[in-house]
Every structure is written in C-alpha cells, then in structure tokens.
Structure 1
Amino acid sequence: MSDVKLAAKLDPAAIDAIFAPVNQSQLPGVAVAVAIDGVPVYRKGFGLANMELPVTLSPMMRMRIGSTSKHFACLAYLLLCEDGRAGLDDAVGKYFPEFHEVARRVTIRQLMGHSSGLRDVVSLCMLIHGTGVPTTEREMLAYYETIDDIDFAPETNWSYNNGAYAMLSTAIERISGQSLDDFLAERVFRPIGMNDTMMRRWDTGFVPNSATLHMVDAAGGYTKQYMGMEISGMGGMVSSMDDMLRWLRHMDAPVVGSAETWRLMKTPRTLSNGRSTGYGLGLISALYRGVPTIAHSGGVMGGNSQMIKVPGAGLDISIATNRADLNSIDLANRIIDACVEGLAPVAEAEETPGEMRTGLFRSSRTGRVVELLAVEDKPFVSVDAAMPFPLKADGDGGFELAPPVDFIKWGVTPSGCGLTFSDFGNADALDEVARDAEAKIGDLAGLYRSAPFAATAEVSDTAEGARLRLSGRHGSHSYKLEPLTATIWKASSLGVFSVIGFTVTFDAEGAGLVINANRAVGLRFARD
C-alpha cells in the first residue's frame, strides 16, 4: 500500500482554519502535531487543558490516546514471540487455564485481530454495571471463567473486542513476569525516546503534565465522568502529540520489532469467508480518497484521538481531544485534504437507489433488529437500537456505511417486505415488523437471571414508564424502556451514555429475554 507516490505540502493557514472553531481559551479543545517526511511541521494546541485552570493544551502535554494503545500491546506480545517465549497461534488456555473451554480454545492471533468470537467482557461490564464503578481487569476477566457461549465461531466474523485486549495484556504480564507498563517502558518507549508516554490504568489518579477529559452533559455543558474500570493494553496509554510523531516516524524504519512483526501488524486479516477485515494486529489499513493510510483511532470518556499515516505522501498526523464533542478522525481527514496533492475527488452524494426505504426489521435467526431511518433526507441505519450510522449507496442497489465509520463492513439491501443485512460478508435475512409504540410492559415485568454472566435483569412498570435494571458482581445500572413492538423494546441509559441503546426482546411466552447490544449480543436471561 505504501508504494503509491504522492506529494505533501504544508499550508499552516489552511490547517489553522480547520481548528478555528476551537481556537479559544474558555473551553477544552484539541492538540495536534503534523510531520512530513519525519520532520514536525505543525504543532499546536487549542483550548484549555482543564476548565478549572488557565492552562492551554499543547502538543507536549499528555493526553489519552485510547484504543491507539492496541497496536502497542500487539507489538509487546510479538516481541515476546521474537524472544521465543510465546507463539502467535498459542491457545488462550495456555496462559489462562482457569477460563471456560470456549475461551481457552481461541488463539492469541484471533484476540489481536478481533476475530475470536468471544464476548467482550468490557462491554458486558459497562452494560451491567454502568461506568464509574472501580473494576479491575482481573475482575472483568473472571467472567471468562463462567461465560459458556460465544458471539460467533472464530474467524467467521469481525467484532471489536476490548475484553480480548484485556486478556492479551494479562497474557503478556504472565509470560514476561513484568507489568505491561514496565514492559512497554523498557522495550518500546525508552528506546524510541517517548519520554512522555506511559500506561495510565485509572482516570482517578494524578499524573503530571496531563490534560483532563470532559464529558458533555444533558444540558450541553461539560462534566467530569470517568470510565471507572482499569484499562491497560485495550486503551490505557497517555502520550503527547510530540511523542506520537516520534512513534509515527519510527514506524517507517523500526528499530523495535522485526520486519516480520511489523508486516503482521500492518497486514489486514482475512475471514474464513474470504472477506478482508481491514484490520491487522492492532492497525487499520484503509483508503481515504483513494490514498492508502495506516491508522488507529481511540475513544475514551471525554475525548478521542487519531493516529494516521499517509505513507505515499510521507505525512504523519496525531490528534487528541479532551472533550467528547469533537471528532479526531474527521479533523485528521481534513488535514489530509489540506496537505496531500493528488487525492481522488470527494465523491458526490449518490442517488438513493429507488425510493428510500424506512422501517423496522428483525432476523428470526439471530434476533438482530435493524432500523432504517431518514435523517434530513439522508439514509441512516441503527442496529439493535444503537446510535444511527450514515449510509451511502453501494452501486448495487443497496447501502454500506459511509465515512468515518466505513471501516465497519456492514451492508443493507432492501428487498420486498424485508432486507438483507451483511456483516463482514455474512448475510442475514430480516423481515419487516410492525411498530407498536403504545405497547405496555404488562406481564413482561419481573426478575430475569443469567448464571453465565452472574447478572439479573429486573423489568418494572413505574410512574415514569417501563424500566430495566441490570445488576451484577460489581454494581448495577438502570435504563429506560421504550416499545418498538409488543415484545421488542429499546433500552436507553439513564446515565451519562444517554445516546447508547440496545434491544431487549422478550419470549412470546414471557419465559425469558435476550439483550442485543453493541459488542454484547445474545445475552439470555431466564425468568426467575
């Protein structure tokens, strides 16, 4: 992919214009660093590092880089493979004999590539306990001792899995005899001169030279809301934008990691159906306006980041925000627009094939619920009542996800009274179902229990409407329930993640319910 030759130029005024809306000193903002051919050419911070102090952000300040941490964890494990102390296709059970058989038999390579099919225990914890509950990685991983089913057979699909990286992090520690923090510092950060980069497992401790994260509250203001859970290789690193430029430059001629290690990290994996995931071992390879890129973004509570290379132009970009209402991926793409010559034209909005279809659809095989929506006359899709994603015509009579979420390979093709939903090449037939917005919870109220997840689901009918309370080993969280049909309900968090939703589908006989949430699907509860 890096053989494509392009030209990159610096236009500081054009980049300044991108960040003009956040060039202020009363709200949090963003730090950015850009390099061409390994030489830093643009380094600025916009907005406050902390709304309580008159200190502005800078590219020298530590900021959360979230899931960008993942390819560092992959590199750490691959260094152990280079040492002869581990194997890429080692079974998880080699390092976690205490886990249930379904987890023990997947491989480390599958964990890294998000193709293991294991349930994401991080999403499970957030779903059951909410955020802000102090939960260690060991406590989260303990769920794999009792969970006895999977989302899909290994290598048959792709699903982003933070729990897999919590497992990878602990495996590195068990093999090396060091904390992941110390291993990365010794083997990666110090040799490269990344002196401001470190593992920060908890948001609640004090770390020098660090920006504060800012969530958006219901009134549109900013608030302190922390993850609560321990995070390491899945997304626990903090770094400065200057350090990240050092890292991006190092990726062009690595001194840490062999050529084979870096080939494995950069090469997208292929599923058993022949479909490329676009995801290697911790790195995403994709096209932006016809140009090959290598990247990994990161999202955290109160901020996000993007690390992206345009190898053919020698362009490196690192951006991190300390507020939840900015999108680092979009900002980085706009910098590419301003700096790279020879990009393909911005695609014109394609005509929607036929009359735009809207409606609610359900799969009798998987229980997946898909809603097609029109937002300002543009097509959107919501899967299992989650946040709607924009769609674009795919040229074959259907739709696919539009940027910046097009790395998720979903497709929707309406037909007759239903539609076909494609999930990384796996087709699922859905039938249209009639809405019943006036449905009542009625006899569906009651207590439901799941032994594998050590959780209960209490459904109640209150003066404010139907409610769901999930409770587990480490806490509980409440949700508002709204009817989609008499047996399919949308759950919305009553906490800070009010935009996140999932579906609760009740058996027609009332004997149980199934929760389908992002990265936590098919969670079965039996009536107590």
Structure 2
Amino acid sequence: MSISTYIDGLFSEWNNAQSPGMIVAVARGDEDLHRGAYGMADLAHAVPMDFRTVTRIASQSKQFTTLLTLMLEQDGLLSLDDDIRDHLDYLPDYGARVTVRHLANNTSGLRDILDMMIIGGTPITAPSSRDLARRTASRSAALNFAPGTELLYSNTNFLFLTEILEKVSGQRFETLLAERLTGPLGMDDTRLMVRDDAILPRLAVHHRRGPDGGWLRAAWGIAIGGEGGLVSSGDDMLRWLRHLARPTVCDPALIARMEAPSATIHGLPSPYGFGLMSAVCAGHRCIGHGGWISGSRSQSLRFPDQDIAISILSNHDDFSPVVLMEKIAAHVLGDRSTRAATRPAALSPGAYRQADGDEIFIIDDGDRQQSLTTGMGSAPLVESPEGRWVPHSSMPPFELSAGKDGTVVTEHFARQRVFRPAGAGAPQTLKDGAAYASATEGLSATLERNGDGWRLRLDSAGDASLLRLEHRDGTLFTAHPAETDPHDQWRFAPWVLPWLFTVRIEPDRLVINSDRTRNLVLDAR
C-alpha cells in the first residue's frame, strides 16, 4: 500500500465537513512523500483545511526559542552559564543559581506557569497580558528541586528564555524570530500569536469537544511567547525540518547541540536536549517535539538515520499525535519495535499512591489494553523493550512493573519508587474554616464543609478558586473544580483533567503536588 493511501485511510475519520482538520507531511530529504490536509479549517464557514492553513504548534515553539538562544550565545550576547537573575531583575532569590542552560534543557526546577495559574485560580482561557504571565511565573521563590538534578518539563523555562532573548537583543521576540530564522528560511506562515484574539492570514479556527460531544470553538487567553505561542503551516514545518537536517541559516554545530543530551540525570543522559527531544518511534531513533494547547495538538519528528521527516498539525485536540505518528513511522520505515522475551505481568487496576510521597495515579483496564491516568490525563500502556509498561506519550513520566504484595514499581532515570494501592485509612477529622498560607508562594487557603464533603478555597494575588476535595488515601485528597459545568471548569484549565492536583492536609500544614509542582507548602495560620 502506498504511503498516501495508508495515511489517507488513517485520517479518514477526520476528513469530512463535520470535523475540524489535520495536516500531515512526510518527506525524505528534499522529496515530498506525502502532503495531506483533512477536514475543515473552519466548521462554521465550511472552509476546508489545506496545506497552507495556519494552526497553533504550541510547545513545538520551544525549538525555535532555544535555537535563537544558541545563536545569540554565539554572537556573544549571552552565555548558557549566565545566572538568569543577571538578565531578569524582577525574579526572586531562588536560594540556588538557576542558569540559562537550566531553562533550555528543562532542569531548572522552576514551577510551571500553567500549574501556578491553575493552583492560584487565574483563568487561563480569559484574555490577559504578558505582564500578568511574567508576574505569575515569577511569584514563586521555591524550586521543585535543585537546578540541574532532575528533568521536569516547565513552560516557565521558555517564558523566561523569551524574556532574556528580548532583553539581550533589544528586539521583540517576533522580530528576532523573523530576522534570524523564519524570514531567511521563507517560513512566511510561522509567527508568534500571543492570544486567540489575533487575526492572521489563513488562520484556522481551533476547536474542542463540548459536553455533548459536539465541537466548540477553543479559547486561549493567557499571553504566550516562545514557550508555546507560534503558529505555522504544513509547508513551513517541512521547511523547518529540512533546515534542522541541513542547516542553512545557522552554524550546523548549533543543531547538533540541540539534539545531543544536555544534562546527566542520576548518571543517565537526559533525552531532552535544547528544545528537542530524542526518542524511539516504531523502533527507530527520532528527534523532535510535540505540542498541546487548547484546540490544537501536534508533533514533528525527524528520523536522521533514514533522512525522513514527519509532521502532524491540527486545529483540534481530540486525538493523540504520538499514537498516529507511531503508525505512520511504522508504515513508512517498517516497525522495528522490540519487546522483552517475557511479557510484563499485567497491573492490577485501581488507584495507587506513592509509598513515601503524595504522587497518585490510576490503572484502568480497557477493552484492548490498560491505561495510566495522572493529573495530566490518560495514556495507553505499551510494552517497553526492558519488559516493563510505559505510557504511550511524548514524554513518559516513568515505566511501570508489578511489584510485591499488590504494589506497582515505577522507574525513571534508574530510580525506582513503590506505589501501593490507595484507600488505606479514613481521612482525618478536618476543621471547617481552617486557614493556611504561604508568603513565598503568594497563596492562602481555607477549608470549607460542603454537605458531607469538603471544599478548598485558594486565593492568590487578585484571583481565587473553589475546589471540591475527593478523598484518596489517609490525609491525601485530589482537587477538582467545584463547578460541574465544563464551561466553568475550563476557567481553571483549557482541558477537563482527571484532577487538578493533590492536597495533603495535616494539622499544621497543607501540601500541594501536581505533575509539574512539587511540595508547595502552606502553613496553618
């Protein structure tokens, strides 16, 4: 079966006048192997998607930001070893030296800005300024870990990189991007779109699923920059992928630095370089990045050993680009995935809590395979070559295997943690009106009885959230929006998440944890 026939069939469910669309590109060197556009760019006005339709690429923006950083370092305007507070004087004292390098390779320990907005009740979908984003990102003086010791994805890293680029160059980010990269490469469709209220040529309407399963317009209000604000087209992403393979507007050594491991975590090389991540897809070595924002998911990968490039763009977020990319790569390159000689034992379904911490996840039995659910969503579990289970996602948090006595053991950078079944012990007696606060985080919290359950009110600088608490294990709860209408829930996050974060409630303190925020402590008042 030809490549185009296979991909057309794979994307056929979206190729109709009632569905938002997808753009798929496959190339070998300078030869296009497939150029496909499916579904609609604008459902309301019946505008079909085409190869020059412009969509958000979300976190794929980070590779542009880091390349600009390396180019300005080569120009002598900054160093990766600079302390970020030397460039941004509004940042707090973190009690440790955070460098530009730590930002670019996601090892800074800085809390993620989107997490901080969700925790503080700042609506992500409501229009807001870049100054608000800056103030929110710099509000916390605490770090998730000592810089350089862990890999943890954080949009704050690239927000600050954007700010540093503007500071040292004396130019706006979009001007620098156009002068140094997109202009010379002829990428006329690729630019910064700060919010969804912008009007750009050939810009698709971005869509999300509504409560009834129908399509709605998606919204994104917080002003974003090089951390996730770029839009692009199928044509432009092919130009970009070809430039990464054969650089024409920068020193090729800079691309090599982006692709290479840029940190060592617990003795192992990090898969995240500078704005690009190394992985294996269908058994083949690949390098690239994905993106996810309200109303759009995407992924672009290069397979350097075969000089193959594949890009998936969309104007909706109701699919997994990782799963589709794996299928395309397997068809184009052949499936070379390997499995251990002995299949890993199935995991018992249910909720699990970290034996010595507050992390929680759920194992679900599906019709065909098990899945892992965390606060960030769900992903199917597939077998790893090492004989463990791994979430089928762009940046898996860990691998899993069955442990002793009904436990699950996770492994990440050669470190193992034990998770036991959750639900042990009744919740402690909570006090109605109990108050907590953290001066370093700019947060306060109050417990409120609500019938037979409990709610938590969180207040930050000018914003507030009301959350429903669901007991999980002992003193541990998960926090959910108190409102049941999805439109009200979307105030907190552009996606309806399994939970927003965990809350451990003790007599003298309250501790918040999420996938990208660790040990945020509010002391009892």
Give 1:284's aligned amino acid. Answer: M
Matches within 5 A, 1:374-523: 374-376=365-367, 378-383=369-374, 385-392=375-382, 399-405=388-394, 407-412=396-401, 414-416=403-405, 418-435=407-424, 442-443=430-431, 446-463=434-451, 465-493=453-481, 494=483, 495-496=489-490, 497-509=495-507, 511-523=508-520
TM-score if structure 1 supplies the norm length?
0.89
- Equivalenced residues, count: 514
What is aligned with 1:282?
275
Which deviates further from its counterpart, 226-235 or 439-448?
A: 439-448
CA, structure 1 residues 348+375, in 2 after alignment: closer, same or farther (shift >3 Å)? farther
Cα deviation 1:463-491 (Å, max 9, x = unaligned) = 59433333322533333321113421122
Q: Is residue 27 of structure 2 the alignment partner of residue 16 of structure 1?
A: no
TM-score if structure 2 supplies the norm length?
0.89
What is aligned with 1:106?
98
The CA distance in 2 between the partners of 1:350 and 1:30, in whole Å, is 38
Give 1:425's aligned amino acid. Answer: A
Offset, 1:215: 1.5
The CA distance in 1 between the partners of 2:364 and 2:319, in whole Å, is 24
Offset, 1:289: 2.3
Q: Is residue 150 of structure 2 the alignment partner of residue 153 of structure 1?
A: no
Question: Helix, strand or coil for the counterpart of 2:288?
Answer: strand
CA, structure 1 residues 406+76, in 2 after alignment: closer, same or farther (shift >3 Å)? closer
Q: Is residue 66 of structure 2 the alignment partner of residue 78 of structure 1?
A: no
Matches within 5 A, 1:59-70: 59-70=51-62
The CA distance in 2 between the partners of 1:104 and 1:257, in whole Å, is 33
The CA distance in 2 between the partners of 1:236 and 1:164, in whole Å, is 14
What is aligned with 1:244?
237
The CA distance in 2 between the partners of 1:39 and 1:156, in whole Å, is 42
The CA distance in 2 between the partners of 1:416 and 1:371, in whole Å, is 17
Give 1:390's aligned amino acid. Answer: P
Offset, 1:136: 3.2
Question: Helix, strand or coil for the counterpart of 2:111?
Answer: coil
Offset, 1:70: 0.3
Question: Helix, strand or coil for the counterpart of 1:211?
Answer: coil
Which residue of 28, 31, 45 corresponds with 1:39? Answer: 31
Give 2:459's aligned amino acid. Answer: S
2:371–2:391 CA contact under 8 A, matched in 1: no
Offset, 1:106: 1.0
Offset, 1:245: 0.6
Unaligned runs of 5+ in 2: 484-488
Matches within 5 A, 1:308-387: 308-341=301-334, 343-344=335-336, 351-353=343-345, 356-363=347-354, 365-376=356-367, 378-383=369-374, 385-387=375-377
What is aligned with 1:527?
524
1:113–1:279 CA contact under 8 A, matched in 2: yes
2:290–2:394 CA contact under 8 A, matched in 1: no
Matches within 5 A, 1:270-309: 270-309=263-302
Offset, 1:162: 0.3
Which deviates further from its counterpart, 165-174 or 113-122?
A: 113-122
Which deviates further from its counterpart, 487-496 or 189-198?
A: 487-496
The CA distance in 2 between the partners of 1:418 and 1:347, in whole Å, is 23
CA, structure 1 residues 396+314, in 2 after alignment: closer, same or farther (shift >3 Å)? closer
Question: Helix, strand or coil for the counterpart of 1:76?
Answer: helix
Offset, 1:311: 2.1
How well do the aligned residues superpose, as a CA RMSD in angstroms? 2.8
Unaligned runs of 5+ in 1: 1-8
CA, structure 1 residues 144+19, in 2 after alignment: closer, same or farther (shift >3 Å)? closer
Give 1:454's aligned amino acid. Answer: G
The CA distance in 2 between the partners of 1:243 and 1:95, in whole Å, is 32
CA, structure 1 residues 179+487, in 2 after alignment: closer, same or farther (shift >3 Å)? same
Give 1:462's aligned amino acid. Answer: N
1:46–1:57 CA contact under 8 A, matched in 2: yes
Which residue of 217, 225, 234 corresponds with 2:210? Answer: 217
1:122–1:140 CA contact under 8 A, matched in 2: no
The CA distance in 1 between the partners of 2:524 and 2:47, in whole Å, is 54
What is aligned with 2:486?
none
Offset, 1:22: 1.0
Offset, 1:304: 0.7
Cα deviation 1:162-193 (Å, max 9, x = unaligned) = 01100000000000000110000011011000
Q: Is residue 22 of structure 2 the alignment partner of residue 30 of structure 1?
A: yes
2:102–2:108 CA contact under 8 A, matched in 1: yes
Give 1:112's aligned amino acid. Answer: A
CA, structure 1 residues 143+11, in 2 after alignment: closer, same or farther (shift >3 Å)? closer
Offset, 1:86: 1.1
Give 2:191's aligned amino acid. Answer: M
Question: Helix, strand or coil for the counterpart of 1:520?
Answer: coil
2:205–2:315 CA contact under 8 A, matched in 1: yes
1:275–1:424 CA contact under 8 A, matched in 2: yes
Offset, 1:364: 6.1
Offset, 1:61: 1.1
What is aligned with 1:198?
191
CA, structure 1 residues 195+442, in 2 after alignment: closer, same or farther (shift >3 Å)? same
